[in-house]
Chain A
Amino acid sequence: MSARIPHDASVNGHLVDGIFRYIFVATTACFIVVVVVMLVAVVFHRAGRGPAHYTHGKHQVSYVLTALVAAAIFVGVDLVAMRRSADDLRQHFWHFPDRDPAALRVEVTAQQWAWTFRYAGADGRFDTADDVVTLNELHVPVATPIYLKLRSKDVVHSFYLPNFRTKIDAVPGNTTRLWFEAREPGTFEIGCAQHCGVSHYKMRALLFSTSADDFQRWLARAAGDTALRRDTGPPVAIPDVDGWDWES
């Protein structure tokens, strides 16, 4: 029996693991204090060992002690975690690479029970004839910010990257976004984290992170494949959900 957190393949995932560790240590310390006090009371302060100590706990001392314990938790756990996380979120997770021309932009369309990924293609614009579209396969170059925008065709889904410590819902009628950066090549799983119907458990895709060169080679091949599929007839696409103007 083992339960280990999935391997962290992202540039920023260690921040999540770090805050997790901090809260884990802080709460474990609190828990140990509670259990030790409880154990001592249960073992030693029992009936038959003399009368109970009569107090309503209304002395100045107990009020001050209560306030001190509460303040310690508030400052030591709440404020520290809040501060750290707010910094991490603002500087990294919520700091979207809007002005970064090097970032790779991908439009994600969720539907029961698959993920579609759309790359802008040679013209750099979405919802045009040269878009590259794949099903359940997201290819990304390493060491490049990957900027996703997500929409859903039917119900709420949640795009979940366990190896990158992140997820975001795909909501019908809405656009959500997410960015991450792979620090190493590899194949990783993409899951759906929001109950989306009977086959929710099968809504799985794969993420391939490769070197920049490999990625370009793959993109060229995928562009050809997409064009081939187009030749067989006009695609059945829902406007605004299967490809949309990135800035819309």
Chain B
Amino acid sequence: MPADETAGGAGDEASGDGDADPADESQQAPRGWWRRYVFSTDHKTIAKQFLFLGLGFLAVGGFLAMLIRWQLANPGAPFPLVGKLLYGSSGGVISPAAYTALFTMHGTIMIFFAITPILIGAFGNFCIPLLIGARDMVFPRLNLLSFWSMFLSTAILTASFFVPLGAPQAGWTAYPTLSTAIGTPGLGQTLWTVAIYFNGASSIMGAVNYITTVIRLRAPGMGYFQMPLTVWGFWLTSILNALFVPVLAAGMVLLFFDRVFGTQFFIAGTAIRGGGDPILYQHLFWLFGHPEVYILILPAWGIVSDLLSFFARKPAFGYRVTVWSMIAVVVLSSLVYGHHMFVTGMSPMLGESFMLLTMIISVPAVVLFFNWLGTIWRGAMRTTPPMLFALGLVFTFAIGGLTGLFLADIEADVYLHDTYFVVGHFHLIMAAAVLLAAFAGIHYWFPKMFGRMMNGPLGKLHFWLTILPLNVVFCGQLLIGYAGMQRRLYDPSAYEFLRPLLELNRGISHAAFLLGAAQLIFVVNFFWSLARGRKAEPNPWQVGTLEWTVPSPPPHHNFDRIPIVRQGPHELGNPRVIEALGRDWLAQDEEMP
């Protein structure tokens, strides 16, 4: 163990007292049911609330995807089984209006109401205090408010399904002027802007909390470079959230004003170069929207960087280089959003700058891959479910990331823009890679969260039945996009040149149905394990980060004694440790033998 891994600790930024004080009320679990399970300020409870909310909406968003794929496989055919229930007036047939609502709500729900609460809300909340050796978040009540803002936001979004003129239909990006009263009259789209606003408020509150907690509450001895990469991922994500979600919120306020109060921020009127500007919204949206991609993928990168090390039983390869690469991505992510607007008639000079900056992201991304592969190389790999999902992320993120280069190149993008190539590309990252990281995280931290193990064989079955159809679906979309099919077409056969693609679209849909059905394995595994899973030991995976030094599940105050950190997070396979202790891992609060 080189000395510099333990040097430079944050002893001066120690959190709270060393010992748990039974007299201190803040360290005891509240007794009332409401305070304990509903309006809780305990980060572990809030994490579970976010997890259940996110998984619930993941199911809803997934079901909407099934409806979309049904329409693309069998345009105009009534949806089987529940079709008549959903679309009674058309005998179960999905109408063009219903279809636009479907893809709008699918995107909105998956990004803002499934991935965000699962990855950032649930894992961010659960992991940050436990992994840095803190008793809770630094602002527990802000944490509570963050969850309930999210809850309010989901209630508003859900309500938008049931208002006159129906659910929002302007796409998840809600470009004006389609998203103003000109294109989508009705309360649904207005509720959408309000829901996104409160969703953003929730994210900002969470972000402020996470950033401060990581700065202030790291256990003594834990310098920034002794933090697990998971914590780095959440921390950097929170910085992006705090900086850029307010921009989205501003866009939502202006859009709300345009819809409700008759302002014209985004409405051009009839005069050319007079009135408002719909492109202004696109700037606001993507100034948030591109960092958003990294907001979602950074926690995934962090989690996977740790898991690859833990289950290859090797230290993370080039830890500091990985961290600096993630920081580089954070900086670059705020400078590249213009590539979403290459075909809006953007100035060529601006276009070329965005093109170069976007391509430069490939440099830190390549370094990440290099270090991931370096981590598993010559390891002693345990292919547990968390590890399988982590490896699955590396695979799908490779495809998703590399296809980004096509879209960064203006010349290729002008052809590919707004085709299924884009759909395939961002699903490989935001749906496939991020979701695989979420499954990895759930399998990995389930024992710590709920005190029981998830079923391994079922987890592996779920992995294989997910990764295979998932790649068929999203790589199939890349192919369809290469063949020129635009996004958001209710019935592609309206175009002659797209008719030969029907067979391929059908194939993709069948793979998607399989993918959807395979998630039932996860649902069964999750709930069965919750009730009947094998009781978990404190450290079932034999790794050294701080959450595994406390019981599963941890007590309300997490740590009886605030640990003193002496090791980096990845002290695995050290010959000195093996010889002295007979095991290949060393906890972060243990002395090097």
Contacts and interface: CB of A to CB of B under 8 A. Distances in A.
A37 to B, nearest CB: 5
Interface in B484-502: 484, 486-492, 494-497, 500-501
Given A156-B177, A173-B269, A244-B272, A85 B574 contact: no
B398 A31 contact: yes
B31 interface: no
A191 B369 CA distance: 38
A86 B348 CA distance: 10
B315 A55 contact: yes
Interface string B327-360: 0000000000000000111001000100110011
Contact of B399 (A6, A31, A63, A65): A31
Interface stretch (B125-133, B299-307, B316-324, B446-454): B316-324
Contact of B175 (A1, A93, A156): A156
Contact of B578 (A51, A77, A189): A51
Contact of A168 (B2, B5, B270, B345): B345
Nearest to B276: A173
A78 B405 CA distance: 8
B138 to A, nearest CB: 31
A187 B411 CA distance: 24
B381 A42 contact: yes
Given A56-B2, A173-B268, A198 B414 contact: no
B405 A47 contact: no
Contacts of A93: 411, 414
A176 interface: yes
A20 B411 CA distance: 9
Chain B interface size band reads 35 or more
Interface string A184-208: 0000010111111111111010000
Interface string A22-36: 011011001100110
Interface string A1-27: 111111000000001100110011011
B418 A57 contact: no
Contacts of A20: 406, 412, 415
Given A1-B507, A20-B412, A45-B378, A169 B345 contact: yes
A53 interface: yes
Contacts of A94: 348
Q: SS class of chain A's interface: helix, strand, loop or mixed? A: mixed
Interface stretch (B191-199, B201-209, B475-483, B531-539): B475-483
Nearest to A176: B345
B528 interface: no
Contacts of A156: 175-178, 278
A134 interface: no
B409 A154 contact: no
Interface stretch (A116-124, A213-221, A233-241): A233-241
Contact of B495 (A155, A169, A204): A204
B573 A197 contact: no
Interface string B97-123: 100100000000000000000000000
B312 A151 contact: no
A66 B272 contact: no
Contacts of A31: 398-399, 402
A204 B356 CA distance: 34
Given A88-B411, A94-B348, A155 B405 contact: no
Given A56-B315, A78-B362, A198 B169 contact: yes
B187 interface: no
A118 to B, nearest CB: 15
Given A51-B573, A198-B97, A239-B270, A168 B313 contact: no
B391 A155 contact: no
Contacts of A168: 343, 345, 414
A230 interface: no
Contact of B391 (A26, A42, A62): A42
A160 interface: yes
B60 interface: no
Interface residues of A, number: 97
Contacts of A73: 362-363, 366
A202 B487 CA distance: 13
B378 A155 contact: no
B270 A240 contact: yes
Interface string B178-191: 10001110000000
Given A167-B415, A173-B278, A35 B382 contact: no
Contact of B484 (A1, A5, A155, A239): A5
A129 interface: no
B277 interface: yes
Contacts of A50: 380
B406 A55 contact: no
Contacts of A193: 343, 417-419, 486-487
Contacts of B274: 173
Contacts of B175: 155-156, 194-195
A84 B348 CA distance: 15
Contacts of B100: 195, 197-198, 200
B407 to A, nearest CB: 10
A226 interface: no
B382 A47 contact: yes
Interface string A102-119: 000000000010000000
B11 interface: no
A38 interface: yes
A158 interface: yes
Given A166-B414, A204-B495, A70 B317 contact: no
B373 interface: yes
Contacts of B162: none
Nearest to B506: A1
A19 B411 contact: yes
A78 B356 CA distance: 8
Given A27-B403, A193-B486, A45 B376 contact: yes
B370 interface: yes
Contacts of A176: 344-345
Nearest to B394: A38
Nearest to B483: A3
B383 interface: yes
B17 interface: no
A172 B391 CA distance: 46
A185 B86 CA distance: 47
Nearest to A238: B270
12 contacts: A41-B376, A42-B383, A73-B363, A78-B363, A166-B415, A175-B272, A176-B344, A177-B345, A195-B488, A198-B96, A204-B495, A240-B272
Interface of A: 1-6, 15-16, 19-20, 23-24, 26-27, 30-31, 34-35, 37-38, 41-42, 45-58, 62-63, 65-66, 69-70, 73-74, 77-78, 81-82, 84-86, 88-90, 93-94, 112, 151, 154-156, 158, 160, 162-163, 165-169, 171-177, 189, 191-202, 204, 238-241, 244, 248
Interface of B: 2, 5, 96-97, 100, 169-171, 175-178, 182-184, 267-279, 312-321, 343-345, 348, 352, 355-356, 359-360, 362-363, 366-367, 369-371, 373-383, 391, 394-395, 398-399, 402-403, 405-406, 409-412, 414-415, 417-419, 479-480, 482-484, 486-492, 494-497, 500-501, 503-504, 507, 570, 572-575, 578, 584
Given A1-B504, A34-B398, A82-B359, 14 more contacts: A19-B409, A27-B403, A37-B373, A46-B383, A47-B313, A57-B318, A88-B411, A89-B352, A156-B176, A156-B177, A169-B343, A173-B269, A194-B175, A204-B494
Interface pairs A-B: 3 shortest CB-CB: A173-B268, A57-B317, A176-B345
